[in-house]
Structure 1
């Protein structure tokens, strides 16, 4: 980023708040001074100003935690957060590296609703568009979002137990689905092989919010003929895209130390 009009004091405040957010009630004045290589007098002025404005709170033992001002402003941020706009802003950088179809969806009970799409340069087009719905159990994005449920909750969603096959590769019962969801819970990503549409692989990852809850998912869809060549970068890039959107939705667990 160009720093022609950069304000160093604001950059210092940003670093201070970031440290406090990840290490509440840990850092004292001297710790900030050593960590950021700022003089003690300058650091005292910064912390004192932030405390007066309620951006930070000084504890009785001299350590600092986040102040009430950040809590007051947080709901306003999430009120303005737009999932589709954020996807459209973040997806192009992923597209440059992967050049495959990227999609965004949310869960509507047992179906996913496609919200946005960015297409790669392949001549073969993925036949899904914003507004369309598909069974969640047959799609990578759907399975990622279903992974937030317990086994009992999953059975309640699919009381008939059996699942209608869309292709010869589609899983056909709740227990098979549950086994896949357990894998997602552990790895945070899933690859789906021709379960919704034949001739394609799909890899998906969850978008999390500030409440550590899955609110959507993103995916990359790749022709079978390209899968071996692209599977590693596809998984890495989809996970990274989901992470970037999640951070803008307020998710912080992935960067806690």
Structure 2
């Protein structure tokens, strides 16, 4: 967008909300000021306004969490997407086939935001609940959504950004990440092995809408000790589930 129509105050607000959403209850005014390089007086006014509007809440330790106003907006946003309801219906069928948890998420900048989860009967619960964010490069569900970008777009997206290391297995170099993305474009799916969390592997596929636009990613997540026996069947099933959901979203295969 042209800088002529850019509103810096809204950009700063978005940065603050994004940071609080990523790690609620962690940041105080001084922490937010330092993390976002916004002076304290400006940050004070911004936080006071957001708190008055109900966008954020100040906890007893003077840290911030998201407020009820944003919760209401979020609910309104999700109500218009019947695909979330359809996800649970269709994913439940696939969970019965593989007996592993399926998640759906959307790309937001260089992060993945989890939107929904269909769990299996295992006592092992995943830490990534709906609403949580993880770096896209460390997750299969994020990498598959990065396939929508050209190399130039990818370079711009990750300009001046380091790849956060979630585990010792997380991809470290941007060029290697791009190789993963290129391979996923050809295959129609992608895998990650212990890049987001130790002991867990994932396989993901993309969901497209009626405009042939990649809108979500879905993934199977399973423990390392189940990976070799279930990997191939999980790949086939996640591709099939993604195709079913894409059809429900109006996508027509070409």
Q: Establish whether TM, by shorter chain, passes 0.5.
A: yes
What's the counterpart of residue 218 of structure 1? 218
1:82 aligns with 2:82: yes
Q: How does 1:130-145 map to 2 (within 5 A)?
A: 130-145=130-145
Q: How does 1:104-183 map to 2 (within 5 A)?
A: 104-160=104-160, 162-183=162-183
CA contact (8 A) 2:194 2:201 kept: yes
Q: How does 1:2-17 map to 2 (within 5 A)?
A: none
Q: Distance in 1 between matches of 2:115 and 2:161?
A: 28
CA contact (8 A) 2:135 2:164 kept: no
CA contact (8 A) 1:207 1:214 kept: yes
What secondary structure sits across from 1:181 in the alignment?
helix
Q: How does 1:194-213 map to 2 (within 5 A)?
A: 194-213=194-213
1:230 aligns with 2:223: no
What secondary structure sits across from 2:221 in the alignment?
strand
Q: Distance in 2 between matches of 1:118 and 1:226?
A: 18
What secondary structure sits across from 2:231 in the alignment?
helix
What's the counterpart of residue 91 of structure 2? 91
Q: Distance in 2 between matches of 1:115 and 1:244?
A: 18
CA contact (8 A) 1:200 1:221 kept: yes
- Residue 82 of structure 1, CA deviation: 2.0
Post-superposition CA distance 1:151-198 (Å, at most 9, x none): 111111111253121100001121111000000110010010111101
What secondary structure sits across from 1:228 in the alignment?
helix
What secondary structure sits across from 1:107 in the alignment?
strand
What secondary structure sits across from 2:206 in the alignment?
strand
What's the counterpart of residue 63 of structure 2? none
Q: Distance in 1 between matches of 2:123 and 2:91?
A: 20
CA contact (8 A) 1:81 1:249 kept: no
Q: Distance in 1 between matches of 2:81 and 2:109?
A: 23
Q: Distance in 1 between matches of 2:159 and 2:147?
A: 17
What's the counterpart of residue 188 of structure 1? 188
Q: 1:247 to 1:154 in 2, by over 3 A?
A: same
Q: Distance in 2 between matches of 1:183 and 1:207?
A: 17
Q: Distance in 2 between matches of 1:226 and 1:82?
A: 32
Let me know the Cα RMSD of the aligned residues.
Answer: 1.4
What secondary structure sits across from 2:148 in the alignment?
coil
What's the counterpart of residue 22 of structure 2? none
Q: Distance in 2 between matches of 1:131 and 1:235?
A: 25
1:246 aligns with 2:243: no
User: Structure 1: 5+ residue runs without aligned partners?
Assistant: 1-78
TM-score by length of 2: 0.67
